[in-house]
Amino acid sequence: MKIALVQINPIIGDFAENSRKILDSCHEACTKGCGLIVFPELALSGYPPCDLLEIPSFIADHDEAFAVLCAKLPEIDVLLGCIEKRSWGNTGKKLYNSAFFIQKKAVVQKIQKQLLPTYDVFDEKRWFEPGDSSEVIECGGLHFGVTICEDIWHSEVNEYGKDPIHPFFDEGRSIDCLINISASPYQREKEAVRQRLFKKVCTRYSVPLLYVNQVGGQDSLLFDGRSMAMDKNGVVQAWSCGFEEDVLIVDSTDWSGMICEDVEEADLAALCDALVMGIRDYVRKCGFSAVVLGLSGGIDSALTAALAVKALGSENVLGVAMPSPYSSDDSMEDARQLAWNLGCGFEVIPISELFASFKKSLQPLFGDGDVSSDDFTEQNLQARIRGNLLMALSNKFGHLLLSTGNKSEMAVGYCTLYGDMNGGLAVISDVPKQLVYELARFVNRDGEIIPRRTITKPPTAELKPNQCDQDDLPDYAVLDNILELHLEEHLGVAEIAERGFAEELVADVLRRVRVNEYKRKQAPMGLKVTSKAFGYGRRFPNVQNYQG
């Protein structure tokens, strides 16, 4: 039997468009002789629908769309991730996260997700009731054990007291293949974890596995697809492309199929593709077609612009240089050259006169007749003037404003509220500074796009004479290591100092992280690419004084 594994890029709540994609894929699978087609977790609604699940009309519209979809299905068996209303019980949640098995246009079986994640960006127990049994479906003379996303991750997450896989093999039961339908977000190095986990399951039970994953950007989450078929020895026999919609046809005689040429792309290539996909989907799903961003001549804005052009096309990207009295000629030249290399729009709006006007207006209140260039007030004024200008362009032309700050700066508050933090999407806010440089060099792998000087010169905000980031911050190589240990491994001052860092320095970095939480709460949404990003998956109070 031929089986189609379909990774679609849904839009949450767009039942008509999601149904169209599902139906089109079913017709395509039929023309290719498939007997079964498998879609990702919550494919009809899109994942994660979050508190839309609490709106009765959302559930009603989902169910109506499902009924219409079923009536239009061709002659093919379908396994589809859907929302299921509970029909019994006075306690617990009203919904299941389920897989519906459909034959001859009718639902013949419903399988409920058993393990509901509540860590990091996940909060499924808020909306769903867990299922309590491991279910097998029969199709084409084969028996498939069906699991939904987290159900197969029990060995990697220590908080679960049950194993949804093991019952498939209890008491002499026999299945021919496992199926896992997922909406599993991308993060760096996660694919290696998946491969290890899936191989362990396949070899332990001597059973093949079909894995179908959602693809596309959804708010801060990036879903990489990479659906696959793995044989009983843990060897991948078929693999979809990453970061794009795809239909993978698998032959059940040996569980083989096509393997996308780019599926094993290097880490930097995958990261670049993830960010490009995230920009494209966020911009377009939110109803925009073009973006605007400030081009300072620095590395962060240069990388953001390069990613935006790849995502949206040069004609849909506008870069704006806003030189102040402290901007160097080199930076202006680099910003202009970058725009030329990318072929995007480029405008220059000097801010010196606006800056002088602000200082004149504030002079009576400040009392000393001026503000020192070493004063953060003066530096922040420049950033906020630029932020206002960019927001004005965004409002006037309907462009989404991209914020260009990186994770290292966001972590320690080296950024200005209502200034460089303005924007609708913070593209690289989960990319540490050292990784920004690696990505910039990757962008230039086939020729210079980001000017060489932008990559080699010392980083500077150019908000005062002869300024350098390291006037106020540790070397980024040191800072990024400390931040990773704290943010991703959750280590405190003493534990990080034991890794070879000066305790006083570590304490200062962690203090900065703590006292700048209020800034990050007001920052634009960022694209998540590490195991712990700022935003929904990291919930710390603004007002707290724990200094561990």
* Residues classed as catalytic: 41, 113, 149
149: left (phi over 0), alpha (psi -120 to 50) or beta: left
Virtual CA dihedral for 35, 39, 41, 47, nearest 10 degrees? -160
438, containing H or E segment: helix 433-443
The string of DSSP codes covering 22-50 is: HHHHHHHHHHTTEEEEE--TTTTT-S--G
Do 130 and 116 meet the contact criterion of CB atoms below 8 Å apart?
A: yes
Virtual CA dihedral for 16, 22, 23, 28, nearest 10 degrees? 150
Distances, alpha carbon 27 to alpha carbons 72, 336, 338, in Å: 10, 49, 45
Sign of CA dihedral 164, 165, 168, 170: negative
Query: What's the CA gap between 484 and 39, in Å, rounded?
Result: 35
Bridge partners (DSSP) listed for residue 98: 82, 112
CB environment 404-423: b (16+ within 10 A), e (fewer): bbbbbbbbbbbbbbebbbbb
Write out the two tokens for 72.
Answer: 């239009």
Per-residue H/E/C for 506-531: HHHHHHHHHHCHHHHHCCCCECCCCC
